[in-house]
Structures are given as C-alpha cells and as structure tokens.
Amino acid sequence: MERFRSLARYPVRVAWTNGSLCHPASTSDYCVYMLPTFNHGKGISLVTTPSVIYSLSIKPFADRWFNSPDLAIPPDLLGVNPIKGKGLGVVAANRTIRKNTRVMVDAPALMIDHGALAELGPERLSDLVHESARMLPYPAREGFFGLSGAEGQLPKSKDSALAIVRKNAFRTKIEDVEFHTVFLDVSRVNHACNPNAAYHFDPLVMRKSLVTVRDIHPGEELTIGYVDLTQTSKTRQSSLSHWNFTCSCHRCTQPSHLQQESDARTAQLINIRNELDEYRRRLPDGPAMAELLITLYELEGLEARVHEAYYRAAVEFNGVRDRWKAIKFGRLCLERGLLLKDETRSFVMQMRSLVEDPEGHWSWGFRLDRTKIM
C-alpha cells in the first residue's frame, strides 16, 4: 500500500514529518504530514496521499516556500475589532489604506486534500484533521483552535477541528491537486458581496495575499468575497448558507426597489458575459457590450473582479481590429490582474501577448472573419 512508501529513499527538496495516522480510501491512503520549519517555524500540516506529498517534496518551486522573502506589512496597519452582527472582524487601524495596497500576506497552516473530504466519512476525516492540527507547533496550534466555527463543541476535540476547517477553509490548488486550506490571519476577514479587498493564493511561494480594491478608512472593516459575487442576491444568500449567516452588506440590504435594480444589473452582467464568451459567433457590437460589462462590474461594487471585464473588452476590441483600445483594456487587465492573481494564470499570458502584438494574437479580427471564428 502507498502508506508504507518511505520518502527518505528519494531525493527531496522538502522533508516532511510523517504523522501517526493514515486512513484508507478507494484508491489510496490519506495520511498526516507536517513541515515544522515552514513559515518561520510556524509549521504547516497536510492531510493527503503519500504520492501527493512525494510530488510536493521534489518540486523545484518548493525551494521558494522558504527562500521567497515575505513582504513587509506595517504592524499597525490593521486591527481586530468587534463588528456588529459579525463577531470579530479586521479593520483599518489608524490611517486610511489606499486602493491597491497589499495589506496581508498569510501562509497556510493546515491543508486538507479535497479527495479526503470526498472519500472519507466524518469520523475518519475528523481523526486526520485533529491529528494534523495537533501536530502544528505552538502557537499555530492555538491559533487554529482559536478560529470560529466550533462554538458548542468540546474545545480542541476532533469534532471542533473538523468544524473549524469546514467554516474557515479556502479552496486552493497546487498544480492539479485541490486542497481545503486554513489560513490563521486571512480566515478572520469577514465577507461582503461588494468587498473592498481581494485575495489570491500563489502556490509557487505558498502565500495568500490580500489587496485593497478601494480606499479603506480608519475603523472601516476589511472584507472579501466568500462566494461567486456575480450572482443575484437570492443565489448569493443561498451560497452563503454554508457559513450560517445572512449577508448584511450594502449590496444585500438596499431598499427593495434598489435591490431589484441591483439584481437586474447582475442578471444583465451574467448574460453579457455569457454572450461574449461565445467565440463561434459574429458579434460586431461586442466592444460596446464589453464596455457595458465593465460598467456593470463597477456599479455592483465588484472591483475585485473587474479584470475579468477588462479581459473581455481587450479581446472584443481586438476582435474588430481596434488595436489601440484592445491594448488599453489589455493594460488595464494586467494592471489589476497582476495585483490580484499570480503570473502563472493563463489570462496574464494572453494579455501580455495581446498588448505586445495585437495583430499576432489569436483574437485579431475574429469577430469579423468567418475563417477565424473558433
């Protein structure tokens, strides 16, 4: 069985410590691994298969997990305060934080392979999650068990560990492996459907960054989006039921006539986005639709995702051979996108190619030329 494979026999860049627990699933065993030297000694625990941990151990980019310097964030930039109806939240401490400021860089503390959540029952899964949390060095272990989500559970129990993961984990990917990942600092940031910050996880350095998308004033709460925000209010609230709260942000608590207008804008946003993504059709008015799409993102307070609209505008203007507007929106997409996403994303490479050589990009004239319609 995979669980007995010795990692010590292979040339590895990262040496993981094996935990004492493994549980079998349909195709492999899921085991606990810990890396005590990660994140300046705060450590990281994983629940995954031996083959995945071996693969992570030999990746060339694993060296960057230790050698990439953390960005210096002023220690007095943020504070943690009680937020009405939300418990504790992260706020701007004593000065205005400007748009496009990186306010938080956080490393994972605990990562659970998606396969473990899908294949193991609650009892075996809670065994592994609890073991992985207990293996974290102090104070990361205390920080994990101090997160919300385990109210009413026996403190530091198996049930509480699994409840914390279910409440606080973000979905992240390292190459083609999906994890449910708990970050001790980012997990304290509350949700809004028109958030003033955006986040992304860079697997090459194993860090999640938060960047402001609007100015945030002293005492104002820092918020991110937990769900797909390009949905109508009813769908968003249904998606948020996983966290057992109803969103009370401005976008969700408007007077009914304004809420109806917001939902109409969001529905139009979805429809336009879907039409623009149909590359096989002629769409001579695509550029005007793309500019409206940008406006709809902005009206709905979705600055955290407006690079998606810039991307479509760049493609549409290039599709009708308007090179200068294509370059304009390509540059805007890169300016926003590189703040919020890592350089490995395909849209980054696409936009760099387009701004450097619009005529050589696949989209040049594709809306006008039948032979180029994909």
Residues 10-37, mean pLDDT to the nearest whole number: 86
pLDDT at 221: 95
**Per-residue tokens: 131:** 């073991």
Residues 19-25, mean pLDDT to the nearest whole number: 92
Whether residue 337 has pLDDT greater than 90:
no
SS3 373: coil
pLDDT at 150: 83
Residues 276-302, mean pLDDT to the nearest whole number: 94
CA distances to 29, 53, 60, 176, 187 from 10, in Å: 19, 12, 14, 22, 35
Q: For tokens 């860079």, name the residue.
A: 202
Alpha-carbon torsion (40, 42, 43, 47), positive or negative: negative
Q: Which CATH code for domain 2-224?
A: 2.170.270.10
Q: Which residues contact 114 (CB under 8 A, 6 or more apart)?
A: 171, 177, 178, 179, 180
For the chain, how are helix, strand and coil distributed in percent, rounded to 5?
A: 45, 20, 35
pLDDT at 25: 92
Length of the chain: 374
Residues 268-297, mean pLDDT to the nearest whole number: 95
| pLDDT tens digits, 124-183 | 999 999 999 999 999 999 999 999 888 888 889 999 999 999 999 999 999 889 999 999
Q: Which residues contact 84 (CB under 8 A, 6 or more apart)?
A: none
CA distance 181 to 329: 33
Parallel, antiparallel, or unpaired for β 108-113 and 102-106? Answer: unpaired
Q: Calculate the average pLDDT of the chain.
A: 90
pLDDT band of 101, cuts 50, 70, 90: very high
Whether residue 306 has pLDDT greater than 50:
yes
**Per-residue tokens: 287:** 């550029």
CA distance 324 to 318: 9
pTM of the model: 0.85
Please, are residues 337 and 313 in contact by the beta-carbon 8 Å criterion? no
pLDDT at 341: 75
Domain range summary for the chain, segments of one domain joined by +? 2-224, 256-372
